[in-house]
């Protein structure tokens, strides 16, 4: 689960959902599907539907529940729909960049939804511009559309296959034409995309939790490099010509994915709980109780508790009503920032030693303040345990990481970090332990290891891949 105030650090880019519906209520199901994916993006939301060959679109800034009302959904008739949620950055947050994007091309009108980040986006844009393309947004989706439109093949699947050869990076796409829904996942499968079913209807989604929310169930993941075409008659798969090992972003398992989603056949909740158990094995600690930073640290904390036999208690309580917007406390009210969101249960922590479990440390400012508040409430020893390795490298594939200068893990040793945040002891899960916890394999672990699954040209020197030539709108 996402925590906007405290965790303005690692952010997913987007969530996508699509359906071909026999009932013809495609937009309504997509609406509920996007609700289930809201944790993947709270900036803007949009749905496009196809009705008798016409594509209708509504999108706006805001949460799904704010962008759509009953009247808007009623206008979006049609049995094919595709929807998108996008996350809120300060920079080029604008309705012009909201998705789906709808393009009229020689292949007809298509709606595109994209989750991911192209590493060679800038080079592709420049090359397309040289050939006469014009760009109205700053999102990669438009680059992909321009490449598709430039393909001379009349078969859209062949065009997609040929465009995929040019794309370098992470992309989970849903493309809607007048009569088909096409799911595409990059050859390394860096971003997730899966197929679901509700009775006879087939769906695509970033995460399986959306299928259950709308009353359906997960069928399977889209394979890396696979193209999946869904129409009214069923589904057809176009596997990649050359099969790569999957390199799913491991942060989907750690933090991004909803705990009730399943990826690679594994429950993310169970994987996080196992991570807590292994964490206990690797860096054990003794204390009066185990406590989590809610909500994302809780599954691992419960796992740690199970493995250690130390009881799990709630020592921090979250204010469920702190929304996206609130007025920043002034300098002399700095402590309010964390307190608005999380409060310490003094009666629980007073005089007690604690194993405090969180899923990651990025800049470290929040955990530092939390520990200081715990101390103020009379907590004894605080043993900080993180259910993932230190984040040391930036992400090039769709996660909003700070620069290395701000990454605590890149600048300090584990011991130094412990001292900096004020913990009595500190322990991170090893990368091996994390992989073990997933009960799986095939991950991009670039942010921990610096080993990226794709060659990043000029890598370290180009964190901000798409910051040049921005039109702020």
- Please give the positions annotated as active site: 14
Do residues 212 and 203 touch, judged by C-beta distance below 8 A? no
Task: Give the interface segment with a copy of itself, choosing from 167-175, 339-347, 401-409, 428-436 (CB under 8 A).
Answer: 339-347
Q: Per CB under 8 A, does 151 bind a copy of itself?
A: yes
Q: For helices 140-150 and 156-164, give the axis angle rounded to 10 degrees.
A: 120
> Cβ closer to a copy of itself: 231 or 346?
346
The residues in 25-54 that bind a copy of itself, with binding defined as CB under 8 A, are 25, 28, 31-32, 35-36, 38-39, 42, 54
Total binding residues for a copy of itself by CB under 8 A?
Answer: 96
Using the rule CB under 8 A, which residue among 295, 415, 432, 457 binds a copy of itself? 295
CA distance 202 to 234: 8
* Interaction residues for a copy of itself, span 92-111 (CB under 8 A): 95, 101-106, 109
The reply on whether position 432 binds a copy of itself by CB under 8 A is: no
**395 labelled binding-site residue:** yes
- 277 phi and psi angles, rounded to 5 deg: -65, -45
| Binding status of residue 260 toward a copy of itself by CB under 8 A | yes
Q: Which of residues 189-218 bind a copy of itself (CB under 8 A)?
A: 209, 212-215
Taking the complex as a whole, the smallest distance from the CB of residue 3 to a copy of itself amounts, in Å, to 9
Question: Which distant-in-sequence residues (6+ apart) come within 8 Å of 75 by Cβ?
Answer: 56, 58
For residue 280, say whether it is annotated as part of any ligand binding site: no
- The rounded distance, in Å, linking the Cα atoms of 82 and 50 is 9
Please state the closest distance from residue 266 (CB atom) to a copy of itself, in A.
Answer: 8
Here the contacts of 456-463 (C-beta below 8 Å, separation 24 or greater) are: 456/119, 456/396, 457/119, 457/120, 459/396, 460/404, 463/394, 463/401, 463/403, 463/404
Dist. CA 9–CA 28, nearest whole Å:
32
| 463 contacts a copy of itself (rule: CB under 8 A) | no
Q: Is 249 annotated as a binding residue?
A: yes
C-beta of residue 206 within 8 angstroms of C-beta of residue 191:
yes
Residue closer to a copy of itself, measured from CB, 95 or 416: 95
Other beta carbons within 10 Å of 370: 25
Site for a copy of itself in 265-294 (CB under 8 A): 267, 269-270
Given 237, 333, 403, 467, the residue binding a copy of itself (CB under 8 A) = 333
Our finding on whether 384 is near a copy of itself (CB under 8 A) is no
Q: What is the Cα gyration radius of the chain?
A: 23
How many angstroms separate the Cα of 124 from the Cα of each of 99, 325, 455?
A: 20, 36, 16
Does residue 300 have a known ligand-binding role? no
Dihedral pair phi/psi, residue 224, rounded to 5°: -55, 130
List the interface residues with a copy of itself, window 117-146 (CB under 8 A). 125, 129-136, 142, 145-146
444 known ligand binder:
yes
> Which tokens is 76 given?
């979006």
Residue 281 CB, shortest distance to a copy of itself, in Å, is 18
* Sequence-ordered strand ranges (E) for 349-411: 354-358, 382-386
For position 82 contacting a copy of itself by CB under 8 A, the verdict is no
Provide φ and ψ at 389, rounded to 5°: -75, 170
Residue ranges of the binding site: 249, 296, 358-359, 395, 444, 447
Residue ranges of the binding site for [4Fe-4S] cluster: 249, 395, 444, 447
Residue ranges of the binding site for Mg(2+): 296, 358-359
């Amino acid at each position: 689960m996402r925590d906007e105030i405290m965790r303005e650090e690692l952010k997913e880019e987007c969530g996508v959902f699509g359906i071909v519906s026999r009932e013809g209520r495609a937009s309504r199901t997509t609406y509920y599907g996007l609700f289930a994916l809201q944790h993947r993006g709270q900036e803007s939301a949009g749905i496009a539907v196809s009705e008798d060959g016409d594509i209708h679109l509504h999108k706006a800034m805001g949460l799904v529940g704010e962008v759509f009302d009953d009247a808007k959904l009623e206008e979006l008739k049609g049995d094919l729909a595709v929807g998108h949620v996008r996350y809120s950055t300060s920079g080029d947050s604008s309705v012009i960049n909201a998705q789906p994007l709808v393009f009229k091309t020689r292949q007809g009108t298509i709606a595109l939804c994209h989750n991911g980040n192209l590493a060679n986006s800038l080079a592709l844009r420049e090359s397309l511009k040289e050939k006469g393309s014009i760009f109205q947004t700053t999102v990669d989706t438009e680059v992909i559309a321009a490449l598709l439109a430039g393909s001379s093949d009349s078969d859209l699947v062949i065009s997609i296959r040929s465009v995929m050869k040019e794309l370098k990076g992470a992309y989970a796409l849903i493309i809607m034409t007048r009569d088909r829904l096409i799911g595409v996942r990059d050859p390394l499968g860096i971003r997730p995309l899966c197929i679901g079913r509700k009775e006879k209807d087939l769906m695509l989604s970033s995460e399986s939790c959306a299928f259950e929310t709308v009353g359906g169930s997960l069928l399977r993941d889209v394979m890396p490099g696979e193209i999946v075409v869904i129409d009214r008659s069923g589904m057809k798969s176009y596997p990649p010509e050359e099969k790569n090992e999957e390199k799913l972003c491991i942060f989907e398992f750690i933090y991004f994915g909803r705990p009730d989603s399943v990826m690679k056949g594994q429950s993310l909740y169970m994987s996080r709980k196992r991570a807590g158990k292994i964490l206990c094995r690797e860096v054990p600690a003794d204390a009066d109780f185990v406590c989590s930073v809610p909500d994302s640290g809780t599954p691992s904390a419960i796992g740690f508790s199970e493995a250690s036999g130390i009881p799990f208690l709630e020592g921090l309580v979250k204010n469920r009503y702190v929304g996206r917007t609130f007025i920043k406390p002034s300098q002399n009210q700095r402590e309010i920032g964390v307190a608005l969101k999380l409060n310490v249960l003094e009666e629980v922590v007073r005089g007690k030693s604690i194993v405090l479990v969180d899923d990651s440390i990025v800049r470290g400012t929040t955990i530092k303040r939390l520990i200081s508040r715990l101390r103020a409430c009379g907590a004894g020893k605080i043993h900080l345990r993180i259910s993932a390795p230190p984040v040391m490298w930036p992400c090039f594939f769709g996660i909003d990481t700070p620069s290395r200068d701000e990454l605590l893990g890149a600048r300090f040793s584990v011991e130094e970090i412990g001292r900096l945040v004020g913990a009595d002891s500190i322990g991170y899960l090893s990368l091996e332990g994390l992989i073990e916890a997933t009960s799986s394999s095939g991950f991009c672990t670039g942010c921990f290891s610096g080993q990226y699954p794709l060659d990043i040209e000029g890598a370290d020197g180009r964190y901000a891949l798409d910051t040049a030539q921005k039109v702020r709108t």
